[in-house]
A and B are shown apart, each in its own frame.
Chain A
Amino acid sequence: DAGVTQSPTHLIKTRGQQVTLRCSPISGHKSVSWYQQVLGQGPQFIFQYYEKEERGRGNFPDRFSARQFPNYSSELNVNALLLGDSALYLCASSLEAGSAAEEQYFGPGTRLTVT
């Protein structure tokens, strides 16, 4: 079975630009979460989506937004990019949204560099 897939693998953008990152969850998984991993730190929670609805949001500015599609894939959008947005963006999928006991499975990530 295919795992979580993300695209693109790498991305270079200029300050002020906008970027869209994409994620496809494991087949049968209905929940997608997004995390930001800055170099040298652990991943930080950005969003969780379940059945196309936002179920949670981390401490990130409104420049960050996301959505989930009927096929459970998801997009993360970041507007007005700052140098500090340079990071590895990880997508994770799980079967459901509300079970804290359930593990999340991560994709390989998208490496975003803002210059």
Chain B
Amino acid sequence: AQSVAQPEDQVNVAEGNPLTVKCTYSVSGNPYLFWYVQYPNRGLQFLLKYITGDNLVKGSYGFEAEFNKSQTSFHLKKPSALVSDSALYFCAVKVYGNNRLAFGKGNQVVVIP
């Protein structure tokens, strides 16, 4: 079975400071990893994905994520957080041949002005 853990419920960061949202995964086989963001009363918006290749993946709105196979992690990062980045962030995983996403419980990010 595939699963994702997002250990922190909420991440607070000051505007302009670096933002990191943590994610670890558990799969049998090679993982395909995704980050989505959800604003209040909205659906999920795709940010970025890791399939293969470079461990550092760049995505939308200045976000990037680093894949670490030995630590089974896929942490989301942004060098300088904006107040508008305040939202709910979900990490998700798929495995080869299976198109169903397995999501973590989500992390609420609060960027303080």
Contacts and interface: CB of A to CB of B under 8 A. Distances in A.
A45 B3 CA distance: 12
Interface residues of A, number: 32
Nearest to B95: A100
B99 A55 contact: yes
B99 A102 contact: yes
Nearest to A103: B46
Contact of A43 (B32, B51, B99, B103): B103
B100 A106 contact: no
B78 interface: no
Contacts, number: 71
A104 interface: yes
Contacts of A35: 101
B94 A100 contact: yes
Nearest to A58: B100
Most chain A beta carbons < 10 A, residue from B44, B45, B98, B99? B99
A101 B43 CA distance: 21
Interface in B1-51: 4, 32, 34, 36, 41-46, 49, 51
A62 B99 CA distance: 21
A109 interface: yes
Interface residues of B, number: 27
Given A100-B94, A103-B34, A108 B43 contact: yes
Given A41-B106, A90-B43, A103 B97 contact: no
Given A43-B101, A100-B32, A101-B32, A106 B44 contact: yes
15 contacts: A6-B43, A35-B101, A41-B105, A42-B104, A43-B101, A45-B100, A56-B99, A58-B100, A94-B99, A98-B97, A100-B96, A100-B99, A106-B36, A106-B44, A106-B46
